[in-house]
A and B are shown apart, each in its own frame.
Chain A
């Protein structure tokens, strides 16, 4: 059993659509991270959150600690949002558990 489960694994959307990616975890955490990996391989940190909600541009991340669930939303999706989105949880401060990622393709 994986400590972090993401859904869906693959997602195709039309430009402009509202997108939601879900993440559930089974361990205690100090923080949850959303990461973006572009086709070239580089990984960028989008959000780090331990409660509530954070917004950056068209991206919104929420977390429900009691339910051990987080969502990443993309409003008005654009082809440049096409990437793999990875959920990671900080379990001990030294150890992170990662989901296997959601591959998003936004079609013009």
Chain B
């Protein structure tokens, strides 16, 4: 069966520090991978999606970046965090148009 792992679960970082959130999927090949952010009381905002290794599409220009160095690994990064980067970050995967969205447990990021 397929599983998705996302870590860390919680993170407190000072403004200006770097960020690296990692997501891995097991039990499937060539999934579509997504990074979403959910601000308090708001809906899910798509940050990045990837349809294959090295292929990243950005939906929201900001100081975040994403990389997909391996088929089942998706990384969200920042060189310098802003206060506005605080939120709940979720990684997800699906097969294009053919499967439900499967989410990781999320990372709650607080930038202080």
A residues in contact with B44, CB < 8 Å:
86, 88, 98
Q: Are B43 and A98 in contact (CB under 8 A)?
A: yes
Whether, in the assembled complex, B82 has its beta carbon less than 8 Å from a beta carbon of chain A, the answer is no
Residues of B close to A100: CB separation below 8 A = 42-43
Residues of B46-99 whose CB lies within 8 A of A:
46, 49, 51, 57, 88, 90, 92, 96-97, 99
Inter-chain CA distance A40–B10, complex, in Å, is 12
Chain A residues with CB under 8 A of B49 = 94-95
Q: How many residues of A sit at the interface, in one of the four size bands?
A: 20 to 34
Secondary structure type dominating chain A contacts: strand
A30 surroundings in chain B (CB, below 8 A): 97
Let me know if B110 is at the binding interface, CB within 8 A: no
Determine if B103 is an interface residue (Cβ-Cβ < 8 Å): yes
Contact between chains at B105 and A45 (CB < 8 Å): no
Q: How far is the CA of A86 from the CA of B101 in the complex (A)?
A: 12
Is B42 within 8 A of A45, CB to CB?
Answer: no
Tell me whether A43 and B97 are in contact (CB under 8 A). Answer: no
Query: In whole angstroms, how far apart are the Cα atoms of A95 and B102 in the complex?
Result: 14
What are the interface flags for A21-42 relative to B under an 8 Å C-beta threshold, 1 for contact and 0 otherwise? Answer: 0000000001101010000111
Option from A31, A35, A88 in Cβ contact (under 8 Å) with B97: A31
Most chain-A CB neighbours within 10 Å: which of B51, B88, B100, B105? B100
A75 to B18, CA, bound (A): 47
- Chain A residues with CB below 8 A from B30, complex form: none
Instruction: Name B's A-contacting residues (CB within 8 A).
Output: 32, 34, 42-44, 46, 49, 51, 57, 88, 90, 92, 96-97, 99-103, 105-106, 108
Chain A residues within 8 Å of B, Cβ to Cβ: 30-31, 33, 35, 40-45, 47-48, 86, 88, 90, 93-96, 98-101
